[in-house]
Structures are given as structure tokens and as C-alpha cells.
Amino acid sequence: MSIMNIEVLAGGKRYRFQSEAGTSLKDCLLKAGILEGAECGGRGICGKCAVKVRSGTLAPVEGDESFLMTRGDGKVLACQSLIREDVVIEISAGRDDVRRKVRLPNLQKEKKYSDSLLEKKFIQLSKPSLRDQASDLERILAQVGKNKKVAFSLLGGLPEIVRKADFEVTAVLVEDELIAVEPGDTHALRYGFILDIGTTTIAVYLVDLLSGEVLDADGTANPQRV
């Protein structure tokens, strides 16, 4: 089959790639990571894959040229279009739309650290000696609670963390488990993630657990939304 050149203008950027003639334009854009997908499963209903043809022509999936121009604004549906020659298209929707969407929710800001299961405690450890040969972990547990569970993953790097911090560290606990030990005093730095798995979009929010402020957000199209 013939190989065609495809040029895409999206979000102020220019993308160039190639595809075989007869390939679905929607599939090409999805594979290139430019288009986020269509909620209707490619049936030409939702209009989320609309693009504008700047040069070249596309072939209709169903053999009806008029079906390509379904929007009335000069745009065609990528899911109803096949590559048949070199083409330049412009996309106004896509990744930027998802980023805008995930920043729309007005998340409540009444939640504070007191509502969280996370606890951080700054501790100053005594240094080992001939008279005091307790392990680093034993010294930490003596201050945060000897009956705490310990995440296995933190044990390997614990001696290095403690000594680089000159035996001043912050213990990070969730409920009754010690999950991390951070160098220095980091008790005022408390962050968490909110993960929103929606029908069309998966969004994640970085939150300051002390103030409740959303510091950043990003997302992607839910691959199961079809």
C-alpha cells in the first residue's frame, strides 16, 4: 500500500508522521498521541474527533463524501475519515481540552490535615555508642511507638538517611504504620493526591494537606470511556 505524509497542527505545535493509505485518520491520531479519543466509539456521534483539513482530501469510511462534512463548520470527523493522500489537518481539541477539564472542579477547601490519616513527627535521635547499640529503627520506634508496623521498603536506605541528616529526621506514619523516614524537619510539608476516575476523564490533583489548596492538576482521557 502507498505511504502518505500526515501533518497535524495542534496547540501551536506541528507534528509530522506517515501512514498507509486507507488507514482511519482517528487511529493515526490516537497512535501519535495527539487525539484523546472519541466517546462514541467511532460511530460519528459525539463529534470529539472533529478536525479541519487545511490541504489534501480524505476518503469517507462509508463511501459517502457528504458524510465527512457533518458539522457544518468546515470540520470533518476523524473517525469517519480514511487517509488517501498527503494531508495537512488542524486540531483545536485534544490534550489541552483534557487539561482544561481537570482544572474545572471546585474542590472543597475545608479539608485540613486533621482530616487526614497521615502524621509526620520530627525526631532527634541519639547517636549509637558502645553503651547504646540500638539499631536506627529501634531508636525511631522508641519515639513514635514501639508497636508501629514498619514498611519493609524503608529499611534498606534508613542508615544512610539518618547519618546524612546527622540523626535529625522526620517519621512519616499512616495510621499505625511507619511508611517513610525523611531527612531533616519536614513535618510542615504534607502533600497528598486526589485521584478522580471519571467516565470520560481520569484526573489527579496534588493537594497541600495543611491548607487544603490544590497545587497542581493533570489528567488524561479514560481509555474505557467508549
3-20 pLDDT tens trace = 989 999 887 788 898 989
The answer to whether position 221 is within a domain reads no
Q: Looking at the structure, tell me whether residues 121 and 79 fall in a common domain.
A: no
pTM for the whole thing? 0.54
The domain that holds 23 is classified in CATH as: 3.10.20.30
User: Per the structure, how many domains does the chain have?
Assistant: 2
Give the confidence band of 108 by pLDDT, cuts at 50, 70, 90. low
The answer to whether position 135 is within a domain reads yes
The answer to whether position 110 is within a domain reads no
Distance of CA 119 to the CA centre of its chain: 25
Q: Which helix (H) or strand (E) holds 9?
A: strand 3-10
148 vs 68, higher pLDDT: 148
3-state helix, strand, coil in the chain (%, to 5): 20, 35, 45
Nearest C-alpha neighbor of 7 from the set 59, 83, 64, 67: 83
Q: Looking at the structure, tell me whether residues 16 and 70 fall in a common domain.
A: yes
The answer to whether position 104 is within a domain reads no
Q: Looking at the structure, tell me whether residues 159 and 121 fall in a common domain.
A: yes
Q: What is the pLDDT of residue 170?
A: 96
Q: Looking at the structure, tell me whether residues 56 and 123 fall in a common domain.
A: no
Q: What is the pLDDT of residue 146?
A: 86
The answer to whether position 101 is within a domain reads no
CA–CA separation, 219 and 226 (whole Å) = 17
The answer to whether position 107 is within a domain reads no
Domain boundary among 146, 165, 183: 183
Q: What is the pLDDT of residue 96?
A: 52
Q: Looking at the structure, tell me whether residues 82 and 123 fall in a common domain.
A: no
Q: Looking at the structure, tell me whether residues 127 and 81 fall in a common domain.
A: no
The domain that holds 170 is classified in CATH as: 3.10.20.880
Domain boundary among 93, 126, 150: 93
CA–CA separation, 173 and 152 (whole Å) = 13
Domain boundary among 39, 60, 93: 93
The answer to whether position 201 is within a domain reads no
Q: Looking at the structure, tell me whether residues 8 and 86 fall in a common domain.
A: yes
Q: Looking at the structure, tell me whether residues 83 and 125 fall in a common domain.
A: no
Over residues 173-219, the pLDDT tens digits come to 998 899 999 999 999 998 888 888 887 778 888 888 888 788 888 88
Q: Looking at the structure, tell me whether residues 7 and 83 fall in a common domain.
A: yes
Question: Do the Cβ atoms of 208 and 191 come closer than 8 Å?
Answer: yes
The answer to whether position 58 is within a domain reads yes
Find the domain containing 69 and state its range: 3-93
Q: Looking at the structure, tell me whether residues 144 and 85 fall in a common domain.
A: no
Q: What is the pLDDT of residue 105?
A: 55
Q: Looking at the structure, tell me whether residues 34 and 86 fall in a common domain.
A: yes
Q: Looking at the structure, tell me whether residues 134 and 57 fall in a common domain.
A: no
